[in-house]
Structure 1
């Protein structure tokens, strides 16, 4: 499977009163990883939005393991955990500077028409995305 690797420097504004990254910021970093993975596959989510297609999150699961702090560099690993032509589940690991797992997570998405939020088939409407997702979930190389 293809794995995107994106480094993020933890900013002071991303920490809470305890001096650790506020839990909701991991969701933002997951989006950064997801966008990078899509870009590495040769696509641009903004172009899909211009076509009137959105990809809302339908579920998020996050397990917090180790804290990250201001000044740390987080490493976001993102991959396609599951894809069936309609739904996509992305997998994530965010690592601490010494390589320990800070979080593990998944986010589930479905593509819908902007005007009515009816689901669309990625397989039919975007066959090149479909082929790339099928290939990426099966690849055995990691960056």
Structure 2
């Protein structure tokens, strides 16, 4: 499977009164990881939006394990856990500078028409993207 990796420097504004990353910022980082993965596969989410397609989150899970603090650099790993031509499930692992797991997560998305929120047949409308997702899940699973 293909895993996208990005480093994130914790900014002061992302921390809370306890001096650790505020929990909601992990969701933003998951989005950064998902966008990076899509780019690593050769596509741009912005193009979907230009086509009138959006990909809302329909389920989200996150588990916090260890805090990240201001000035530290976290690493987010993102991969496609499941994809069936309609629904995409991405998984995430965010680690501390020492490699310890700070948070894990999973988000489920579907692609819909922006104006009506009606689901689209993603594999038919975007066959290249569909093939890239299928291949991204398979690499290294042999």
Cα deviations across residues 86-124 of structure 1 (Å, max 9, x unaligned)? 000000000000000000100000000011000012111
Cα deviations across residues 22-52 of structure 1 (Å, max 9, x unaligned)? 0000000000000000000000000110000
Structure 1 stretches of 4+ with a deviation exceeding 2 A read none
Q: How many residues align?
A: 141
1:15 aligned partner: 15
Q: Tell me the distance in 1 between the aligned counterparts of 2:94 and 2:122.
A: 28
CA RMSD after TM alignment:
0.8
User: Where do 5+ consecutive residues of structure 1 fail to align?
Assistant: none
1:73 aligned partner: 73
Structure 1 length normalisation: TM-score? 0.97
Task: Show the 5 A alignment for 1:36-47.
Answer: 36-47=36-47
Task: Show the 5 A alignment for 1:22-61.
Answer: 22-61=22-61
**Which secondary structure state, in structure 2, belongs to the residue aligned with residue 34 of structure 1?**
helix
Q: Tell me the distance in 2 between the aligned counterparts of 1:79 and 1:62.
A: 15
Query: Are residue 92 (structure 1) and residue 92 (structure 2) matched?
Result: yes
Cα deviations across residues 39-74 of structure 1 (Å, max 9, x unaligned)? 000000001100000000111100000000000101
**Which secondary structure state, in structure 2, belongs to the residue aligned with residue 43 of structure 1?**
coil
1:111 aligned partner: 111
User: Where do 5+ consecutive residues of structure 2 fail to align?
Assistant: none
**Which secondary structure state, in structure 1, belongs to the residue aligned with residue 58 of structure 2?**
strand
Structure 2 length normalisation: TM-score? 0.98
